[in-house]
Amino acid sequence: MTADRDYYNTVIAEEGPDSATLTFPPYAPERRIPLAGREIRIGRRSSSQPTPPEIDLREPPEDPGISHVHAVLLAKPDGTWTLVDPGSTNGTCMNGSMDPIPNNVEVPVAAGDRIHVGAWTTITLIRGEAT
């Protein structure tokens, strides 16, 4: 996952309610997280949640557009994955589109797909490169 300048520029161009206060982070190192388990929550930890999400986007620089449970990756028995947005505040988009995926609908994902969440975060699915 990375802070994606192109996605951020698109978010700002859409002129959402908080776009005037958003600033792209000057330093945001790429992070890699292996997808292990049946359910991978994408979000940001909070004191009200007993366990943090597997992909915790509260790490600096914290993306202000991320919900506590923003989206979920679900492993399927055949080895494929689907993505679900359980009703995040700002929506979840894919592959450069600014049209959010429908809430509570499983959307198939594969290697190379890009998941856009928040104001600047893009998660790219890469098969077999966990570090």
Asked whether residue 29 is domain-assigned, the answer is no
In terms of residue numbers, what domain contains 67?
2-20+36-124
Asked whether residue 79 is domain-assigned, the answer is yes
Average pLDDT of every residue of the chain: 90
Domain CATH code at residue 59: 2.60.200.20
How far apart CA 15 and CA 62 sit, in angstroms, is 20
User: What one-letter code names the amino acid at 30?
Assistant: E
Asked whether residue 107 is domain-assigned, the answer is yes
Calculate the CA 25 to chain-centre distance.
16
Asked whether residue 46 is domain-assigned, the answer is yes
* Residues in CB range of 12: below 8 A, 6 or more apart: 19, 22
Into how many domains does the chain fold? 1
Asked whether residue 61 is domain-assigned, the answer is yes
Averaged pLDDT for residues 30-37: 89
Name the pTM for this structure. 0.90
Asked whether residue 131 is domain-assigned, the answer is no
Residue 60 has what pLDDT? 78
- Quick: pLDDT tens for 12-32: 998 776 788 889 999 988 999
| Residue 33 in this model has a pLDDT that exceeds 70 | yes
**What separation in angstroms does the CA of 80 have from each of 26, 44, 92?**
35, 25, 19
